[in-house]
Structure 1
Amino acid sequence: MSDAPVVVAVERPRRRRLGRYVAGKVGGALLSLGLIAVLGFLLFRALPGDPVTTMTRGRPVSAAQIAELEAAYGLDRPLIEQFWSYLADLARGDLGMSYTFRVPVADKIAERVGPTLLLVGTGTLLAVALGLWLGTRSAWRRGGRFDKAATGVALGLWSVPTFWLGLLLLSWTSGLFPSGGITYPDTPPDFWSQAVDTAHHMVLPVITFVAVVYAQYQLVMRASLVEELSAPHLLTARAKGLREDQVLRRHAVPNALLPTVTLVFLHLGLVVSGAITVETVFSWPGLGLLTFEALRGPDLPLLQGTFLVLAAAVVLANLAADLLYRVLDPRVRAS
């Protein structure tokens, strides 16, 4: 008798469970994005100050000119009309026109995404690598001097305000590294000159970013590995004659990586939004600095646009973490 009907009968419930799981996570993400869109409109309308008054500050303008500006930006319409217009524009991918820069918000955000991804991507890779290595070594030598020193430094840096650490590095390294920007204006336009200059400008922002981020990966990895080292299946591995370093590398570390990898994806969106402080301190021309510039306006369309992008990054990173965790952890697949 063939086993094919049995295999098909087992696979169908698995596919249905997978479909329900993915549909539930994607549906929750879409609902979150919808709530973010509504919140993005209401939140920034509650900010104090009149955008038109701010734009015309220090200029001799008449009441008629102010009324003309309000009509041009749609600020003279009732709030409910502004809301429906905002939703219709958002559905078309139109984020409005920036009050400050006089360009479409979508174009301004697209211009600043690259520097943020460069800074956050480099910082995240270094923070993950450093956190995993220190966490593994601390757990393997738990209670020792290295463990105590590494954990103490990580906790100390994690509790330091980002802006304060950035300013401290600027004062300590005065003259050694650029204090702001991404390149010097007089740098030759060829690729290698621009790359070297950009790397030189990235040193302090990346160090600041890594210093306040890597600790969470180190501590989670350490805690997971300490718990894993006492698992029963490691006793079986040792009984088979495997050396301790083989037990650690082949069995303990792969299982301990699960919570840390999930944490990395869960925090991807948060570190993008958390780059605001680093970019502002070092005048790094990314989304974080753009958000700060929009707040000084206040530039409502630009604030709404950056808020939507940063919040969407958090939601999509959480969705990726949920889907990846099902792939990595067989216990989730079996549920």
Structure 2
Amino acid sequence: MTADAVSAPAGQADGPAPAAAPPVRGPRARTWAGYLRYGAGKVGGAAVSLFAVLVTSFFLFRLIPGDPVKTMTGGRPVSAEQLAALRREFGLDLPLWQQFTDYCGKALTGDLGTSYQFRAPVTEKIADALPNTLLLTGTAFVLYTALGIVIGTRSAWRQGRLGDRLNTGLALTLYSLPSFWLGLLLIIVFSVGMGPVPGLFPTGGMESGGEQGFAHVLDVAHHLVLPVLTLVAVEYGQTLLVTRSALLDETGSDYLTTARAKGLRDDAVRRRHAVPNALLPTVTLIFVNLGRTVAGVILVETVFSWPGLGGLFYQALSVPDLPLVQGLFLFFASAVIVMNTVADLVYPLLDPRVGR
């Protein structure tokens, strides 16, 4: 044996050292990599949708008949020079393609233009009306989500009984009603009064005026009852039906049979095992409804003269106040798109099978 062979470490062959093996990625790293790819695809799709809404909001409302400049003058006699000056002030004398590029460039920086009728920035008008809409939709959203989940769970667990049939039938009936029709009906019955039922609530508006402190809070709550009741009656049925359907899919699962075999009471099986798994589709629906409620409150706010984004949209559409209409349309559509994207991003965290 040579000296070199003796001096070489045991088990090491002559020649260059073998290359190091690449690190093995664990299942957690692969899971997060897949989730990031999934999330990037959803966010990219949302960005494309937002751009499509931006383009649609510009061209769609220019199909509305009427001259906004003449509408702004209120029918007063105005010279051609004054009309031309107004068109120059609001950029309506520019070619359509230049108006579009200016609108897109400003919108990407948060500038949605200046309202024709209010002579104020569109973002300022939206910011002023947004708290009133959030008060109305937020209150309704909490109530109809809680009612839908609780009643839907109990109906599914007692499938086929009288309570289940009544709850399902009522939910289907109310969900099929137009919100503006139901709102008008509630005004006739509970505001104007009908037969033995006296007028209990205001016909519209957000406050009576002149109230301060806690009396003002009670006054706003008094005006809030009927529009919130309208939204809750129309919207809770969808949450109820989705929750009921998802829980019915879980009732025949083997893990529930195992839980019962271990001696758990029926209420414990429902609360601790069936409901958490059945709520996955409902959680997605909650995020979707949150955006849809903000966008779909236009008719209810108009019927009840509620000073929110819906009432503002109706005022702008009657002019037409193009910058304000475009800005509100973009805001409503963005709320739906963003909430849908959030739902898509949250669901794989609740159910790892999604997004693989």
TM over 0.5: yes
Work out whether 1:227 is the aligned partner of 2:227.
no
Distance 2:312 2:62 in 1: 19
Which residue pairs with 1:21 in the alignment?
38
- Deviations along 1:188-214, whole A, 9 cap, x unmatched? 2x3x23222111111001000000000
Structure 1 portions without partners, runs of 5+:
none
Say which of 185, 193, 209 aligns to 1:168: 185
Distance 1:255 1:12 in 2: 25
User: Could you say what the CA RMSD is over the residues aligned between the two structures, in angstroms?
Assistant: 1.3
Distance apart, 1:111 and its partner CA: 0.2
Work out whether 1:202 is the aligned partner of 2:215.
no
Distance apart, 1:12 and its partner CA: 2.7
Which residue pairs with 1:139 in the alignment?
156
Distance 1:66 1:131 in 2: 54
Work out whether 1:323 is the aligned partner of 2:340.
no
Say which of 122, 139, 144 aligns to 1:105: 122
Distance apart, 1:92 and its partner CA: 2.3
* Greater displacement, 56-65 / 147-156: 56-65
Distance apart, 1:267 and its partner CA: 2.1
Distance apart, 1:132 and its partner CA: 0.8
Say which of 38, 43, 56 aligns to 2:55: 38
Q: Which has the higher Rg, Structure 1 or Structure 2?
A: 2
Distance 1:320 1:120 in 2: 19
* DSSP-derived class of the 2:258 partner: helix
Work out whether 1:286 is the aligned partner of 2:308.
yes
TM-score by length of 1: 0.94
- Deviations along 1:213-240, whole A, 9 cap, x unmatched? 0000001111111111111211111111
* Alignment map for 1:1-335 (pairs within 5 Å): 8-174=25-191, 175-188=199-212, 190=213, 192-332=214-354, 335=356
- Deviations along 1:26-66, whole A, 9 cap, x unmatched? 11111111111111111111221111122224201111111
More helix by share: 1
Distance 1:283 1:203 in 2: 13
What is the aligned residue count?
327
Distance apart, 1:110 and its partner CA: 0.2
* DSSP-derived class of the 1:331 partner: coil
Distance 1:86 1:34 in 2: 12
- Deviations along 1:111-136, whole A, 9 cap, x unmatched? 00001111111101100110111111
TM-score by length of 2: 0.89
Distance apart, 1:149 and its partner CA: 0.9
Distance apart, 1:181 and its partner CA: 1.5
Which residue pairs with 2:4 in the alignment?
none
Residue identity over aligned pairs, in percent, reads 56
One-letter code of the match for 1:20?
R
One-letter code of the match for 1:262?
T
Distance apart, 1:330 and its partner CA: 2.3
Structure 2 portions without partners, runs of 5+:
1-22, 192-198
One-letter code of the match for 1:155?
L
